[in-house]
Amino acid sequence: MLYDSVRDTTVELLKPIAEEINSNSDEKFLQEFNRVWKEIKECIVMIRDILLYMNKNYVPKFNLPLVENMQYSQFKHHVILNPQIKERLVSLLIQEIRLERDGEVVERTQVRLSI
């Protein structure tokens, strides 16, 4: 029940985050995406630490993914694979790569996602 609640809450919280990311202009899109990704990773680590006992004792019994893996998967499904976000993300990353190949200075921290 706790595992399902964590998953459902994660999904509920990710939907408005996806809308917030998508509402940014192209200039701020990558910056906002990276900021949100960094915050999400920190939150997942904290939740993992809080649910350590459940992760070690109950999750393996029911053959479920670890809480952090489930949350990363939900982020991928509800944010990265969101059709509008995915299209803009790929387009902006390709644009940044082209600019760098043409000799322009590109801020690599925005292109590189720390996974």
Q: Rounded to whole angstroms, what are the CA distances from 13 to 30, 39, 92, 100?
A: 20, 13, 25, 35
* Tokens, residue 108: 């690599």
pLDDT at 113: 63
Query: For residue 42, what pLDDT is reported?
Result: 95
At residue 114, the pLDDT reads 40
Alpha-helical regions (H) of the chain: 2-22, 26-50, 52-57, 67-75, 83-101, 108-111
The domain spans of the chain are: 2-111
- How many other CB atoms are found less than 10 A from the CB of residue 74? 20
Percentage of residues in the chain with pLDDT exceeding 90? 70
Considering only CA atoms, which of 32, 4, 10, 2 is closest in space to residue 76? 10
Taking phi first (over 0 means left), then psi (-120 to 50 degrees means alpha), and beta for anything else, what does residue 25 get? beta
Residue 101: what pLDDT? 86
Among candidate residues 66, 68, 71, 82, the one with its CA nearest the CA of residue 33:
82
* CATH fold for domain 2-111: 5 helical Cullin repeat like (1.20.1310)
pLDDT in tens, 19-64: 999 998 888 898 899 999 999 999 999 999 999 999 999 999 999 9
Tokens standing for residue 78: 């509800």
